[in-house]
Amino acid sequence: RGGDEFGESWHEQGCLENKQNVFDDFIAVADGLVADGKVDRSRLAIEGGSNGGLLVAAVIAQRPDLCRAVLCGVPLIDMLRFHRFQFAKSWTKEYGDPDDADAFPGIRAWSPYHNLKPAAYPAVLVTSGLEDGRVNTFPARKLAAALQYLTTSDRPILLRVDRDSGHGSASLKQYKEELLDEHAFLAQEIGRP
């Protein structure tokens, strides 16, 4: 709900106290694909980067059974502290301000980090860039560590921190290497098409 696909009203219906709508939309689409026989859950992978990384992290916290594999790039995950780092204070217009006592319970209800619990999580590859000026590497590290500790499945939880990149690949060569890693990860987890 961050683009202009359906207008600003649609975007606003996924912000602040309405943020859960974003996760519900995503889960409904994935469940719909399975229900319609388009994909078996054991071959379903989801991916998101940046705000989309937050999205897939929240989705697996809420529905660990949703899919087999997850690519989670440069995510925010601790939504009770996100605004204290770099220039993220400006993002409170989208997510809400956890320092506001009225907003705090709503943010806490969907914050990925605060809703992880012991469960059979899917295979997850979390990626981050050491030179990221938007989202520091520690949310990615925190997510990978929490999932490794909490998962009851034997599926891998991996962290890839690139020392040369930021909020995306630093070069075409690096982009290709990252894409190769991600495709190898998915091929290992869900098989080849």
The residues that are catalytic are: 50, 132, 167
- Confirm if 137 and 167 have CB atoms less than 8 A apart: no
Strands (DSSP E) contained in 68-135 are: 69-73, 123-129
**Rounded to an integer, what distance in angstroms lies between the CA atom of residue 59 and that of residue 159?**
18
* Pairing between β-strand 45-49 and β-strand 123-129 as defined by DSSP bridges: unpaired
Q: Which residues pair with 160 in a beta bridge?
A: 127
For the chain, the farthest-separated pair of C-alpha atoms sits apart, in whole angstroms, at 48
Q: What does the DSSP assignment read for 56-72?
A: HHHHHHH-TTS-SEEEE
**Rounded to an integer, what distance in angstroms lies between the CA atom of residue 27 and that of residue 135?**
25
**Rounded to an integer, what distance in angstroms lies between the CA atom of residue 47 and that of residue 135?**
17
